[in-house]
Amino acid sequence: MHRELVESSDRSEGARFDPPLHRQSWRVLRESSWAGFVADARARWVPGPAAFDRVLWHGGLRLGRHPLDPEKPPKGVAAGELVVAWGFASEPEVPPFDPAARLLLDEAGLVAVDKPAWLPMQRTRATARLALEPWLRRALDAPGLVAVHRLDRQTSGVALFARTPQVARDLHRALARRRVHKRYEARVVGRPAWRGCLGQGWQVRGSHASRFRFELTPSPGAEARSCEARFRVVAAGAAEARVEARPRTGRTHQLRVQLAALGHPIVGDTLYGAPPTGGRIWLHATELAFPFRGEALRISAPPPPGLWDDRPAPSPSAPGCARSAGCAGRTGDGVFGTGVRPGDWPLRPG
C-alpha cells in the first residue's frame, strides 16, 4: 500500500477552497462485493473510516482506469484491481455560486456562466461533486451538458458549456479555427515598461515535483505548441499593473506562462514566480466573442472586486450577452458563421 499527502497551492484561501489531499493506493487481494470492498477500504484508509465515507461521497476513488461515479457504484470489485483513492485533508469550503445570478446565456444548446474563482470546471481527482459542470447539470436539468471553454480553478469569468453533442462539436471547431475571440484581464506584479506588446513562442511541459507547469522555448520541438497573445496595460500603480490580454491560441496556463516570461507574473501565481499572497490568482475571463446561429455574440462578465483595488474597468459593461446580425453561416460550419474576425478586436495604445 502506498500513501502520501499532496500539498495545495497556498495556505490561506487555498487551504479553505483547495485543501491538501491524502492519497492511498493498493491492489484488491480477492474478489468481493461492493459492500465487502468498502468495509476493507474503510479499515485501510489512514485518516479513518469516517474520512473514507467522505471519499466515497465525493467520488475520489479510481478503480483501475475508471473514476468512481458516486451515484452509481459498481456491484463488485475484481481481484487484482488497482485502487487509487484521493481524500481531502479537510472538507473544502465551497465558493458561493448562484446559477440564477451567474447565468449569462442559455439558448439553443449554448450555456455561458460567470464562473467564480476557486470553483473547478469539472471533476477533480478528489471530488466529482464540487465542480461547475455537475452543478449546472443539476441546476439546468441538463444531464448531457459538457464544458467547452475551460478556465483554471482560480480563474474567474466567462465559461462556455454545451447542452448537446452537436453544439459541443461546433464550439470545439470554432475554437480550433480561432473564431472565438477572448479577452482577459489580469493584475500583474510590477509596472511594465511597455504599453502594449505581442507575446509569441512555443510552450512545452516543464518540470515540477507535484504540479503541471509549462515553460516557453524560442524554437519548436516535438512536444512544443505555438502560443500567441497580445497584451495591453490599462492601468498601473507603483508595484502592480492591470493588463488586458487577448490570446489567439488556447494553451493550458498560456497567459500565466507568457506574462511570467515577460517579467510580470500574475499576482498570486506562485507556480510561475509571483510572491505568495495567500489569495487567488488574479486572472479573469472578461469577454468571449464569436458567431453563433447567424449572430455575432459577445458574452461578458466584468472583473470582480479586488482585481484592481475595486475600481471599475475603464470601459465597464454589464454582465450578459450582446449580439448583432450579419454572421452568415457557411456549408460545413455547423451553427457557426464567419462574421467575427481577428481585426474586430485590435490591440490599441492605452
Positions annotated as catalytic residues are 152
Three-class secondary structure of residue 168 per DSSP: helix
Distance CA 245, CA 224 (A): 22
Three-class secondary structure of residue 16 per DSSP: helix
Is there a contact between 345 and 331 (Cβ–Cβ < 8 Å)?
Answer: no
Torsional class of 204: left (φ above 0), alpha (ψ -120 to 50), beta (otherwise): beta
Distance CA 231, CA 347 (A): 8
Three-class secondary structure of residue 78 per DSSP: coil
User: 19: closest CA among 96, 118, 131, 123?
Assistant: 118
Distance CA 137, CA 107 (A): 15
Distance CA 246, CA 225 (A): 18
User: What are the counts of helices (DSSP H) followed by strands (DSSP E) for the chain?
Assistant: 7, 19
Q: Based on C-alpha coordinates, what's the Rg of the chain?
A: 22
Distance CA 137, CA 294 (A): 27
CA angle, 257 as apex, 216 and 172 as ends, to 5°? 95
User: 169: closest CA among 28, 317, 350, 332?
Assistant: 332
Pairing of strands 225-236, 110-115: unpaired
Phi and psi at residue 96, in whole multiples of 5°? -65, 135
Distance CA 20, CA 4 (A): 10
Pairing of strands 110-115, 103-107: antiparallel
